[in-house]
A and B are shown apart, each in its own frame.
Chain A
């Protein structure tokens, strides 16, 4: 019997039992819709996350923390020769050390205001600007004419401590008094507190978190001055800028090799992003695997329905065999029914899946809002998350093939049962 005839016959017997066929197809549709929907939305979400992280992290920046995160209590510091060594590593564009002091108080005599800063960071301004051109940006695009030994730059949240503050704590060229805590050798309180006068070089624009740093909560003073006050040559962090973000991992490896074991921890944004990306990818595959189970359930349903159908059609099968149909012909008639269910269910499921994912993406756009705008680690500029479903020909094809294969595999048992029927017994079947 020709294949076209077999599919005709299969189609006829399917349309004879419209409700049963539709329900069987529906089960396949649900499975494929789930797979396609999750794949399409999941990939859209993954791409959105990757893009956000890439814009949230400065991929060409490495942050060096002294000591090891394994040895939390180590009191390692960086020295100037470390900075010099790092600058010689190939792929390094710029490198700058910084010193950090916690909990500083600023007082502006002009308006009698006092503010607290989370961190006072002592930097080499010219090097620092080169490394953070996108974040070390001044309000109203003003730039200090030059950075003197008493220049202070104030972060946005320090200048405007609450959302309601409309007048800044200070503006350029104001003189502010900074109260610094001077640690003793044991690092155990009580600390000395000393006051120094600085001239405001400028105030920074709101830029939010990038990686582990948020300049909004920082004030910046010259490294040279801080070193004189604290009488030290050491630094707390080193920032490195690489030429090519793709090389950041190999550059980090080379820098790490410059230090003895456990003397440095390098934060590489690219590694972090890759890890998150791979976690999201794994989650996506996991979700698709769960969705695939629903297709297997559909397969069991097909097997069940077709077994019943074979029993009902026993006599018909007997007649076909008596008038000369081969077992193979009977087998292929039933397998064709299963395959048609898979093909139709698969096609509808693909459309439904993409339809669902676009509908969900549309419904959810703007629904997922970043929370807690005022925490230190929240990017105030964050946009509502928008997920664009991704169409993938590979997945679509795979899901379709999966649907047809599952249907055929589960149709195999009833089809074989039909093919193996003894014609004499089948003809006698009531």
Chain B
């Protein structure tokens, strides 16, 4: 049995402006997550170019890519991906620890970040003691702790009920507006997609259309 080459993405080309909230919308299997992984430097395309801050990240070595993820990119996942044995505070601190920041300063910053996402009362809880929404807030705090240029969120509401999902997306929007960080959110929920400044519609690895948000539509 030979391997069959599948083009997950083909001819996808777009720009995201600094401070923009962009959603990537499409049904499952359309290549959304692959696109996000490529932009985050977790995966490499067979062909193409990806520029972050004017730098072609595909020319970076693995170590440089890791550094890029550490300093310029924050990830939020559908399944939160927190380390189960660490408290909320330690989870948020993790990127700072990897960066080699002093413990005390890292703790202070993590505490502040948890306050921003509204979890100051839960800092010593482990993920298993937190609700889904709370876990996602911790994950957001972790993504933002290093003050990244870009936050990549892969179905951040996909594992939450509608109300909690909406709260999370509103939190993202608030942070986007307050801190001016670029947010790229993958979703298959049309309601969530509409919150964005722009929505890229993906289908079968191709861009179907790019929709600008109409003024006043975002709530």
On A, residues with C-beta under 8 Å from B are: 1-2, 5, 9, 12-13, 16, 315-316, 318-329, 423-424, 427
Contact = CB atoms under 8 A, between A and B. Distances in A.
B83 A325 contact: no
Interface string B57-74: 000001100111111010
A322 B81 contact: yes
Interface stretch (B10-18, B36-44, B182-190, B202-210): B36-44
Contacts of B133: none
A9 B91 CA distance: 12
Nearest to A426: B42
Contacts of A2: 100
Interface in B81-99: 81-83, 85, 94-95, 97-99
B95 A324 contact: yes
A324 B70 contact: yes
A302 to B, nearest CB: 21
A16 B85 contact: yes
24 contacts: A1-B98, A1-B99, A2-B100, A5-B97, A5-B100, A315-B81, A318-B81, A320-B98, A321-B42, A321-B66, A321-B69, A323-B95, A323-B98, A324-B69, A324-B71, A324-B99, A324-B146, A325-B66, A325-B70, A326-B67, A327-B63, A329-B98, A427-B42, A427-B81
B75 interface: yes
With a 10 A CB-CB cut-off, give which of B37, B66, B73 has the most chain A CB atoms: B66
With a 10 A CB-CB cut-off, give which of A320, A322, A328 has the most chain B CB atoms: A322
With a 10 A CB-CB cut-off, give which of A5, A324, A327 has the most chain B CB atoms: A324
A322 B67 CA distance: 10
A329 B94 CA distance: 13
Contacts, number: 64
B42 A323 contact: no
Interface of B: 37, 40, 42-43, 62-63, 66-71, 73, 75, 77, 81-83, 85, 94-95, 97-100, 142, 146
B67 A324 contact: yes
A319 B81 contact: yes
B196 to A, nearest CB: 23
B124 to A, nearest CB: 16
A30 B75 CA distance: 45
Given A319-B83, A427-B77, A326 B66 contact: yes
B142 A323 contact: yes
Given A16-B85, A427-B77, A322 B95 contact: no
A5 B95 CA distance: 12
A322 B70 CA distance: 8
Interface majority SS on B: helix, strand, loop or mixed? helix
Contacts of B70: 323-325
Contacts of B100: 1-2, 5
Contacts of B73: 324
A367 B213 CA distance: 94
- A-B complex: 8 closest residue pairs judged by Cβ atoms: A324-B70, A324-B69, A326-B66, A423-B42, A319-B81, A323-B95, A424-B43, A325-B98
Contacts of B97: 1, 5, 9
A1 B96 CA distance: 9
A270 B41 CA distance: 75
Contacts of A324: 66-71, 73, 95, 98-99, 146
Nearest to A9: B97
Given A322-B75, A322-B81, A327 B62 contact: yes
A195 to B, nearest CB: 100
With a 10 A CB-CB cut-off, give which of B67, B69, B70, B77 has the most chain A CB atoms: B69
Contacts of A323: 69-70, 75, 94-95, 98, 142
Nearest to B94: A323
B46 to A, nearest CB: 14
A424 B42 contact: yes
Contacts of A423: 42
Given A5-B100, A321-B42, A327-B62, 10 more contacts: A1-B100, A316-B83, A319-B82, A321-B69, A323-B95, A323-B98, A324-B66, A324-B67, A324-B99, A326-B66
A316 B97 CA distance: 15
A18 to B, nearest CB: 13
A12 B43 CA distance: 30
Contacts of B62: 326-327
With a 10 A CB-CB cut-off, give which of A2, A12, A16, A329 has the most chain B CB atoms: A2
A322 B65 CA distance: 10
A40 B81 CA distance: 52
B133 to A, nearest CB: 19
Contacts of B77: 427
Nearest to A324: B70
B94 A326 contact: no
B9 to A, nearest CB: 14
Contacts of A5: 97, 100
Contacts of A325: 66, 70, 98
